[in-house]
Structures are given as C-alpha cells and as structure tokens.
Structure 1
Amino acid sequence: MSTAHHAKPLRGAAPHHFVDEEWLALRSEPVLEPELPIFDPHHHLWDRRPHSLYLLPEILADIQASGHHVRGTGFVECTSMYRADGDPRLACLGQVEFTNGIGAMSASGVYGPVRVCAAIVGKVDLSEGASARELLEACVARAPDRFRGIRHMAAWDASPEVSTLVRPPPRGLLMDKGFRAGFAQLAPLDLVFDAWVYHPQLAELIDLVDAHPEVRVVLNHMGGRAGLGPYAADPAATFAQWAAGIRELAKRPQVSIKIGGIGMRLGGFGFHDRDLPPTSAELAEAWRPSFEVCLEAFGPARAMCESNFPVDKSLCSYRTMWNTFKRLAAPLSSDERAALLAGTAVRTYRLPAALAQRAPEHTA
C-alpha cells in the first residue's frame, strides 16, 4: 500500500465533500483537446471553513490549472450565503445577491476570460405554494442577466448511507400539493427547475413533469443512481431500475439531463478509497454504461456535462473530470460533442451563444 488515503478521516457533515489535495496530486495527465469550448453548468461556491472553502479564487485556480478551454460556468444552489438577519423567508435572496456579485466580478475581465456564475440556479421554497411567485420574482429582480432557475432539492432515501444531505427534504416532496403549486410558478417567468433526486424517486419526478408539462426541467447528476446501502446488493437490478426511469423520463421533451455528479460516493464505485486517484481512462470506463444510457435516451441536444465541483473534486481534478467527458464523447460527431460540452447548457439557461464558442485566442 503506497498511501493510506482510505484511512484518512472524512471531515465535515458530508463525507463526499472531503477533498484531499495531496491524494489528488499523486496523479497527473495531459489535457485532452484543450481547444474545445466548455461551459460548466453545475458547480457550487461556499465558505464552510474549516471543512471547505470554495469561492471565486478556488474555482478559477481549478479551471486555470486544468488547461481546458472553459468559457463560463453556472452556479447551482447549495444553501450558501443565505441572509442571517431579517425575514427568514427572504434568506435565500442572499445567495442570489452573492452569486450575482461573483458573476459581476468575473464579467469585469479582471479575473480572466472565464465567466464564472454566468448562470445562477438559486433556491426558493416551492412548498409554500403560489406565494413562491413573489420570491421568484425577487430573485429575477436581483440578477436579471443571470438568474435562470431554482433547485429545491428533493433527494430523499430511507437509507442513511444514501441520504447524506445536511438538510434532507421530507419524503414525497415532489408529490406535495403545495410544492406543485409553487412549481407551477416557474413557467410564467421562463425559469428552469433543476431536479435533484435519487433514482427510486424518478417515478415521482415523471408524475410531476406530466402534471406540469409547461415547466422546463433539468435532471441533475444523471438521475442520482445509488450504489450504496440496499442498492449495492444487486447492482444489475439497481442499474436496470435506474435506466428504465431515465428512458421513461426522456420521453418528455421539456426535460434535459446533466451528465456528471457520479464522482460522489453515492455511485458506489469505490474510487475514493484507493491508494491512487483514478485516471480519466479509468473513470470513462466505469461511467460509460451510465453515459450511454443517458445519451441514447436524451441525445446531445438535451444533455450537458457538469463538473459538480467542489463535491466531485473529492474524486479527481478538474482536468481529469473534463478529460473523462471528452473520452466519453469521443465517438460523437463534432456538433454533438460541442452540444454536450457547452451548447446545450448555454441554450438551456438562455445565455449568450459566445459562451459555447471558442474565444479568439483559441481560434486557429
């Protein structure tokens, strides 16, 4: 055993958030196809010291060290920077104000060409029903050029090995009448709903989508296929159940999918506990069956790759993550790859087309 990575303590409330920089540094690999434009539609920013700090300098450092041609990013809510004072109902507006400020800093060009937080997916409590419209409008007013939707996490499972959210939602949230009344407020404002569920909940999500076909939905993390706890006993059956849900959900044209997020321990691949971090070739081999199901079901026009950093940084570097996606996308046409790496995300979140194109310095 060359290292004792598996024996190191997992710090913080969520084990899959622990990033071991020394462990990650044990591997290095060249960047693949550095000229291809990337828009990363799913990352977080937070200050959770001493456990974790990930703000503008940290994500810029990861992007710059990666060597990939990242044009911009999208922030996704993570209960970060909520207001500490005033009406608790309005606390979520603090996160929008914070990330809009980060977006403005990045847009100044002072911090380089990458446009961090070009899109913002915030959080509004949809379970309060139709009155959620007021909060949604307040979010739009605070970031009209960047606020593009919300994520009200619904990921719930009876197994504590699977359900690791610090603030787990109630069971059956997507079926709640109040939640659905709030969900219905998204379409009139042209806002997207980012859905975070575990794979046994895909049927509930399908029911929600069918009840409100006017709302555009982006499924996070490939549908949250769990490979831990009760789902580890029969991996083939678990995969089949997940794949059936993915294929059924994909029949709804208003739904798109984010390919990624499977760097979490949730997938049960066991990479986190190895002596050496995985290479992009190893990750591509492990993730290919899931990738192929998602791509066949949704197609590149409704699929987008995501880093899920810093959560997935517990598994690999930003370079390795996007090398993996490029390996998985290698059999596709150039147009299909462009959609998967940038175009679908930019279109889905209503962003400038330039964010899916090569910057002048990358044009031959």
Structure 2
Amino acid sequence: MADAPFAQSSPHLHVREDWLALTREEVLEPDLPIVDAHHHVWDRATGRYLFDELMADIGAGHNVIASIFVQCRSMYRADGPDRMKPVGEVEFINGLAAQSASGLYGPARACVAIVGFADLMLGDEVVPVLEALKHAGNGRLRGIRNTTAWHADPAIRTNPVPPPPGMLADPRFQAGARQLARHDLSLDIWAYHTQLDEVLALARACPDTRFVLDHAGGPLGAGPYAGKRDEVMREWEAAMRRIAALPNVWLKLGGLGMPVGGWDFHLRAAPPTSAELAQAWQPYVMTCIELFGPQRCMFESNFPVDKGMFGYVSLWNAFKRLTMAMSGPERASLFSACAQEVYRIGR
C-alpha cells in the first residue's frame, strides 16, 4: 500500500516513489541545456533527499548541466552561537558540490551555486555571518534566503518553522538586505501573493540588492483562497506587474507543486502527465514571462518539495511544452542563461 501523501508533522507532501513510477514519459528535447535554479537537500525524519536522490533526478534524462541549492535548514551546526549555526549547511552543501565537481557522477554540476541562510533581522550585525558563509562556500555562495512566507491562516503553511509576521517590512531586515549588495550576494524571497506589496517596498528600499522572487510569486489556492482562483489571479497579476517594473528583481518559475497553491495532483490515482501540468500552469507561467520577460525568468524544480505531486521528467517536459512556441534565445534564457547570469555560474 502506498504511503500517505502528507509526511507527518510537515507541511510538505511525502515523496512516494512507487506512486511516481505509475506515470512515465519520454524526455522531450533531451539536448536542451537546463540549470535547475532551485532545489533543496536534506535528511529529515519525514524524508531523505541527499546526493544520491538528487543525482538520480538530475540524471533521469533531461540535460541538466548544473543546479542551484537553496537553504532549507539542512545540517546546521549543533554547537556555537545561534547566528553561526547555518554555516554548517553551506559547509555540507559545498562538500556535495565538490563531490559532483569530481566528474565521477556524470557531467552535471550539482549545487554549483549555493543560497544559504543568514538572519537578516541582525541588520548590519549580519556581516560576520556573511563572511563566515562565504568562507564555508569556498567561492560557491551566491545568495541568502530567509524564511519569510507568512499568512495568518494556519491552513497556509509551507515551512515547518513558520516565520513571524512583518519581517519584510522591518527596518532591521532591510538593513541586512542592503548588506547583501555590499557582499555581492543576491536575496531569494519566498512570499505568498498576499505579501507581494511588502516585496515591492523592500526591493524599492534596497535598489542595489539583486532580488530573486521564488515560486512565481506564490499565488495561493488553499484555505480561504480555495475556489477563488480567478480572484487570486487578478490580485497576483496586478502585484506582479508592479514588481516587474523594478529592474533589480528576477523571478523563478516553479514551486507550483505545493498544496497551498490549491493543486491536488497528489490525490490522484497516478501522477499528472506533463501535458496536464502545462495546461494547469499555463496562465501563471506565461503571465510571468510576459511581465518580466524571458531574460529575467528562470525555471526551477523546487525538489523534493514539489516531488510529492509529480516526477522530475514530467516537470521539465511541462516547462518545455509551455515554451515550444518561443524563440531559441528566449528558451535558452528561461532554461539556463538567466540562472547562470544571476547566480554567476562559471565565473
């Protein structure tokens, strides 16, 4: 009998390999270079996604040439000051990146860029943490992300440790974000569509900082937003249009496999096909590309979080289906070049 779709005490869906195996597809356009702009690595009571699991997905048939790790509270140090404990995560991921860079596991370069965690609520006092993270990354640290996705309704939860409200508008957080520009680091932000005005204000207040908005700006479809997709779409699109007018914000397209988005693919007898995913996501993905342009958008897997709803092959096939009518340079930006530019891959 297949495992339950939800992992105990976690907002993330449980990964069911037996269920995922029920839908198999041929890889479309297997030569198209891909940089997976956003994934995680962890070992938790609710599931394991370490080097072997990551490389199995990367090696499933698509031409994934590199990947970008994004913080997820993995392998923090057990001892020392709290503000320095996240350095352990970057140390750990840098080791995985070195393992991949050996070439023994295939041509893909996993975790070639690292987005770590530093508590930006420290304001200017975050500098020693940034310096320690950069040292631990051995040249691979490219950005920082904090836990900022917040909603008052308990039905809207995507983090095992939800953040306090109002962080994005806090002057201390803004001061910390400005320090990132001085250290040549970007700021990834995961926020729901209800927080996009705060994202806009933050990006305006820190014009020298590079911002990367995760997961298509977080359009919600669960809890109080269930059955209100058209209303949410209007609010989300209006807010995204305002953010797109800022030149210091880039966008990740993905993260649409979380239940807070209102998707229920995980409840089906078999996983969705790429054609089904492309049809469901078309309004969001194409609106994002229209607003930001392909030069400021990059595709992401958000695995293993999204792996509870679909497999890696189907995911990238869906992105390929959605963009088949676009030009070669536009697709190259979406699948690899934008991520390479923003995260300075190869430099």
Distance 1:89 1:15 in 2: 25
Native 8 Å contact 2:11 2:157 kept in 1: no
Structure 1 partner of 2:26: 30
Native 8 Å contact 2:5 2:14 kept in 1: no
Secondary structure (helix, strand or coil) at the match of 1:185 reads helix
Distance 1:20 1:148 in 2: 32
Structure 2 partner of 1:323: 317
After superposition, give the CA deviation of every residue in 1:211-249 in whole Å (9 maximum; x if it has no partner).
111100000000111100111242211111011111110
Native 8 Å contact 2:97 2:110 kept in 1: yes
Distance 1:257 1:137 in 2: 26
1:21 and 2:9 matched: no
Native 8 Å contact 1:73 1:117 kept in 2: yes
Structure 2 partner of 1:347: 341
Deviation at 1:60, TM superposition (A): 0.6
1:140 and 2:134 matched: yes
80 and 14 in structure 1: CA distance in 2 versus 1, 3 angstrom threshold:
same
TM-score between both structures, scaled by the size of structure 1: 0.93
Deviation at 1:144, TM superposition (A): 3.8
After superposition, give the CA deviation of every residue in 1:189-208 in whole Å (9 maximum; x if it has no partner).
11000000010000001001
**Corresponding letter in the other structure for 1:198:** Y
**Corresponding letter in the other structure for 2:55:** L
Note the residue ranges of structure 2 that are not aligned, 5 or more in a row: none
Secondary structure (helix, strand or coil) at the match of 1:124 reads coil
1:53 and 2:48 matched: yes
Deviation at 1:269, TM superposition (A): 2.2
Distance 1:8 1:17 in 2: 9
Structure 1 partner of 2:72: 78
Deviation at 1:146, TM superposition (A): 0.7
Distance 1:202 1:173 in 2: 13
Q: Percent identical across equivalent pairs? A: 50
After superposition, give the CA deviation of every residue in 1:72-103 in whole Å (9 maximum; x if it has no partner).
10000001100001222210100010011111
1:62 to 57, 60, 68: 57
Which moved further from structure 2: 134-143 or 322-331?
A: 134-143
Structure 2 partner of 1:39: 35
Equivalent residues in 2 for 1:271-286, closer than 5 Å? 271-286=265-280
Distance 1:39 1:164 in 2: 24
Root-mean-square deviation (CA, aligned residues, Å) is 1.3
Distance 1:273 1:17 in 2: 11
1:306 and 2:297 matched: no
Distance 1:329 1:245 in 2: 24
Structure 1 partner of 2:143: 149
After superposition, give the CA deviation of every residue in 1:287-318 in whole Å (9 maximum; x if it has no partner).
00001110001111000000000111111111
Structure 1 partner of 2:120: 126
**Corresponding letter in the other structure for 1:29:** E
1:218 and 2:188 matched: no
Native 8 Å contact 1:196 1:219 kept in 2: yes
1:266 to 248, 253, 260: 260
Distance 2:11 2:220 in 1: 15
Structure 1 partner of 2:99: 105
Structure 2 partner of 1:362: none
Secondary structure (helix, strand or coil) at the match of 2:238 reads helix
Note the residue ranges of structure 1 that are not aligned, 5 or more in a row: 354-364
Deviation at 1:35, TM superposition (A): 0.4
Distance 2:322 2:19 in 1: 24
Aligned residue-pair number:
347
**Corresponding letter in the other structure for 2:4:** K
Native 8 Å contact 1:47 1:53 kept in 2: yes
Distance 1:43 1:336 in 2: 23
Structure 2 partner of 1:201: 195
Native 8 Å contact 2:62 2:313 kept in 1: yes
Deviation at 1:177, TM superposition (A): 1.3
Secondary structure (helix, strand or coil) at the match of 2:48 reads strand
Distance 1:46 1:123 in 2: 14
Distance 1:271 1:342 in 2: 27
Distance 1:233 1:34 in 2: 37
Secondary structure (helix, strand or coil) at the match of 2:12 reads helix
Distance 2:158 2:141 in 1: 27
TM-score between both structures, scaled by the size of structure 2: 0.97
